């Protein structure tokens, strides 16, 4: 997202604000009702994420195909949501720990750092908090999530609390993620597969036909790359990827 971020800094204890940390080390505080996507140009994660031996959480950096850069996560559940966002063709931007919300509540100052901000191709902004389903049963956790969601929805952004997805879908997307980066499969192979694949044919048949005199598996990487990019689709929740999966052309 190009454009110069506004050089404004407004500190107040009376209205909700969002603090953003930038890659040059600076931070900026913006009234929440004035927060715009351009404020995130050249921004980084609010917290520094470190993987330490013995930590209960699983944290790290994910090499995103959507952003062309690394995106931090602090748990396996966050990584799963990040993977699905990277796979979603309607998502064009991903920010981890995008800002720190601060607002006065009942005479005290309350703060919260959302897990992800997703920019949709439609122009919609979606803020995501990731929490295990078991944690949602805690009234304090549920109330804190509802508080931040109320502020963000009032601002006109979508809000999502995510606790997991169907395991088969996740496993299939994890497998396809090996083909997420351009150049992993030669572009000529991908484009040839796209030209020749037939809408509605099974994966095994497509492999055999595209492989010609080679082993069927030789044509598989190009088809997997097309599935990751969304140019081909199949029902990833129906079962593990197999030769019986029906391929559909998109676009």
pLDDT of residue 199: 97
pLDDT in tens, 139-186: 999 999 999 999 999 999 999 999 999 999 999 999 999 999 999 999
Please state the pTM of the whole predicted model: 0.89
Asked if the domains at 17-162 and 167-249 fall in one CATH topology, the answer is no
- Range 17-162 classified under CATH 3.90.1150.110: no
Query: Domain residues of the chain, as ranges?
Result: 17-162, 167-249
pLDDT in tens, 50-104: 655 555 568 899 999 999 999 999 999 999 999 999 999 999 999 999 999 999 8
Q: 167-249: which CATH architecture?
A: Orthogonal Bundle (1.10)
State the alpha helices, DSSP H only, in the chain.
76-87, 139-154, 167-176, 187-196, 203-211, 220-229
- Cα–Cα distance list, 247 to 178, 194, 197, 205 (Å): 19, 11, 8, 10
């Amino acid at each position: 997202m190009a454009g110069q971020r506004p050089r404004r800094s407004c500190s107040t204890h009376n209205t909700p604000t969002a603090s953003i940390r930038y890659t040059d080390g600076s931070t900026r505080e913006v009234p929440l009702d004035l927060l715009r996507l351009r404020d995130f140009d050249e921004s980084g994660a609010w917290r520094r994420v470190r993987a330490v031996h013995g930590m209960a959480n699983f944290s790290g950096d994910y090499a995103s195909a959507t952003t062309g850069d690394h995106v931090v996560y602090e748990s396996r559940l966050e990584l799963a949501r990040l993977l699905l966002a990277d796979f979603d063709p309607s998502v064009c931007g991903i920010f981890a720990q995008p800002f720190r919300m601060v607002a006065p509540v009942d005479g005290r100052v309350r703060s919260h750092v959302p897990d992800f901000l997703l920019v949709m191709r439609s122009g919609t902004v979606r803020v995501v908090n990731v929490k295990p389903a078991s944690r949602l049963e805690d009234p304090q956790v549920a109330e804190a999530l509802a508080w931040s969601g109320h502020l963000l929805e009032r601002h006109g952004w979508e809000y999502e609390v995510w606790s997991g997805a169907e395991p088969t879908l996740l496993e299939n997307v994890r497998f396809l993620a090996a083909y997420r980066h351009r150049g992993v499969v030669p572009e000529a192979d991908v484009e040839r597969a796209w030209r020749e694949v037939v809408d509605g044919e099974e994966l095994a048949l497509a492999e055999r036909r595209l492989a010609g005199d080679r082993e069927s598996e030789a044509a598989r990487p190009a088809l997997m790359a097309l599935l990751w990019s969304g140019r081909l689709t199949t029902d990833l929740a129906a079962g593990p990827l197999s030769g019986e999966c029906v391929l559909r052309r998109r676009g």
